[in-house]
Chains A and B, each alone.
Chain A
Amino acid sequence: MTQPIETSLFATILFWVIATTSVVAAIAVVQVRDIFKAALFLVLSFLGVAGLFVLLRAEFLAVVQVLIYVGAISILIIFAILLTRDVQQGNPSNRLRLPALGLSGLLLAAIAFVAARTDWSLLDNATLSPATSEKVSAVYANTIPWIAQLLLQDFVLPFEAASVLLLAAIIGALVISRER
């Protein structure tokens, strides 16, 4: 039977190492003066989040995290840095400090809300009835079919809407950057 989460000492040590690394890397992104190094620290933070996904038995999410954030988004960010004229000035702060604080506060509130509302008891096999425990194990044994089911059947409309939005963004970028 597959346990929802790893509970051994090794997994706990791994969790703390990964969590500390990603938080420290995230702080470094804001504090480091060299903006290229800041981007690299962002990559490290993304990798840490992928590691946390693995510890939670969400391998698919972990791999997609690496594929999209490390493989694509970070490259985009580095290209943007490359095309910035004032790289030498480093990582200055500007007047958007307060709005940024408000926005990240909102994000933190949303995450805290979701964390408080989630039924975490599903993660502990001991407190569950055998039937529920069986179902939880079935989901955690192979998460890919469930994600496919959710993305491509239950929530197919928002999924497709998101891809149309991305297409619009690509076409918009082409229109803006086209030579006239």
Chain B
Amino acid sequence: MLEGNAIFRNIYCLLAGNEGNAAYCTPLAPGQYGYAGVKFGLLPHGWEWVAYFVAGFIIVFMVVNAIMLSTALYTWFERRAIGRFQARIGPNRWGPFGLLQPIADLLKMLLKEDTVPKDADRWVFNIAPIVMFVPMLLIFAVIPFGKSSYIANLNIGILFIISVTTVSALAIFMAGWASANKYAMFGAVRGVAQLVSYEVPMVLSIVGVILLSGSLSTISIVESQRLPFLLLQPLGFLIFLLAASAEMNRTPFDLIEADSEIVAGYHIEYSGMKWGVLQAAEFAAPLATGAIMATLFLQGWRGTFLPSHLWFLLKVFSIVFLLLWIRATLPRFRVDQIMGFAWKGLFPLALINLFVTAIEVLIWPLPNTGQLWLMVGINWIVAVVSIVAFANILGQRSFRRLRPRTSPLAGVTSEVG
């Protein structure tokens, strides 16, 4: 899976030589990436798997550290930017513009006492932050960061991302349950209901992209985008943006940790570095979403005059800033509004988008440029018309005025105490 990566190839061939895997480690033509070709590697024949393991480990180590560092920098950026949005300054004390703030935060969290509640399920309580954070890192395994620089070219790339992100719902539940705290439990139950609901429109909005590119691999999706899919799939882009915002529990959808209602939700009992890991997962999520959206909708690393990695970073940054803008601007939804928005708003819109895209792909299996632009026109008209129609349906009074009803469990007293 890693074979396409140039750094991987160099390390692997240095260790294994071209004896065991001759076709892979022979020298390439000048100008191409690749190892210059040594007949005998550092390791004896038959130990190629060690070379594979070492090379893979080095690559993964690099990528994981890069993601951690950019997450740390992103926490600074988000706090500064939200500070500007709210007409205050934000962290500006340590380092130029406060850039070293993440390190100060880290030191503070490491020095804090690590408490575990007395009634907590110790094992589950300790594992939950890890289960929360690992999926965030796994997402980056299939993201092409630049021209021929990615960790894995899975033929199921985008499906891999979807399946890996579903694990975070389990992590929220583990954290909430193990904390033995009512607020944590409320947060976890809200969280799971919300995550499961928003998974549906999110996946359906990706299906349009998959239909157009004809592949599940993120690398082929980037290569097949002659026009950015933002133009071809405006509705899909919008649905994915909102659904991903909800999946990350960011402010318009932050019911899971709504400070004014349930204090901090599922991570109320966490302290020290465990809380830090949970927060790191939360702050890595926008970066992951930005990378996914840049790959799916904005042509990934493709661009004209700048280096491909820089293009990718620019696109990720613009998406991340858009998410931050939404977060800083909108107030929180109510519980019933959130569920209604997923099932009555985004879900039908995603179905419309899927239906229209499927028909277009049936009519023009291999579109030329003119037909592509025709599809762009049709899709924008469909997007605007259906959004306006649904806004009018959802904005009706009968939908807005929901009266609170007593829960069927009201009056039932707890037997557990």
Contacts and interface: CB of A to CB of B under 8 A. Distances in A.
The winner among A9, A63, A79, A85 for most chain B CB atoms within 10 A is A63
Given A10-B53, A75-B170, A36 B48 contact: no
Interface in B210-231: 216
B124 interface: yes
A70 B159 contact: no
Contacts of B415: 85
Contacts of A78: 170, 173, 177
B189 A82 contact: yes
A166 interface: no
B282 interface: no
Given A72-B166, A75-B173, A82-B189, A36 B124 contact: yes
B326 interface: no
A70 B123 CA distance: 19
Interface SS of chain B: helix
Interface string A54-77: 000001100110110011101100
A143 B164 CA distance: 20
B163 A75 contact: no
Contact of B121 (A34, A64, A71): A34
Contacts of B53: 10
Nearest to B123: A37
Interface in B399-417: 408, 415-416
Contacts of A70: 163, 166-167, 170
A107 interface: no
Contacts of A94: none
Given A10-B52, A34-B121, A36-B121, A63 B174 contact: no
A40 interface: yes
Q: Interface residue tally of chain A, by bracket?
A: 20 to 34
A70 B49 CA distance: 30
B49 A75 contact: no
B167 A71 contact: yes
A38 to B, nearest CB: 12
Interface in B16-57: 48-50, 52-53
B192 A75 contact: yes
Contacts of A67: 159, 162-163, 166
A179 interface: yes
Interface string A130-145: 0000000000001110
A8 interface: yes
Given A60-B159, A144-B216, A36 B408 contact: no
A79 B192 contact: yes
A130 to B, nearest CB: 17
B170 A43 contact: yes
A144 B163 CA distance: 16
B155 A63 contact: no
B163 A40 contact: no
Interface string A5-37: 000111100000000000000000000001011
Nearest to A79: B192
Nearest to A141: B155
A63 B152 CA distance: 15
A10 B123 contact: no
The winner among A67, A70, A78 for most chain B CB atoms within 10 A is A67
Contacts of A37: 121, 123-124
Contacts of B156: 59-60, 63, 144
Contacts of B163: 63-64, 66-67, 70-71
A88 interface: yes
7 contacts: A8-B52, A10-B50, A34-B121, A63-B160, A66-B164, A71-B167, A75-B170
Interface of B: 48-50, 52-53, 121, 123-124, 154-156, 159-160, 162-164, 166-167, 169-170, 173-174, 177, 189, 192, 196, 199, 216, 408, 415-416
Q: Which 6 A-B pairs have the closest CB atoms?
A: A71-B166, A67-B163, A10-B49, A66-B163, A8-B49, A63-B163
Interface of A: 8-11, 34, 36-37, 40, 43, 59-60, 63-64, 66-67, 70-72, 74-75, 78-79, 82, 85, 88, 142-144, 179
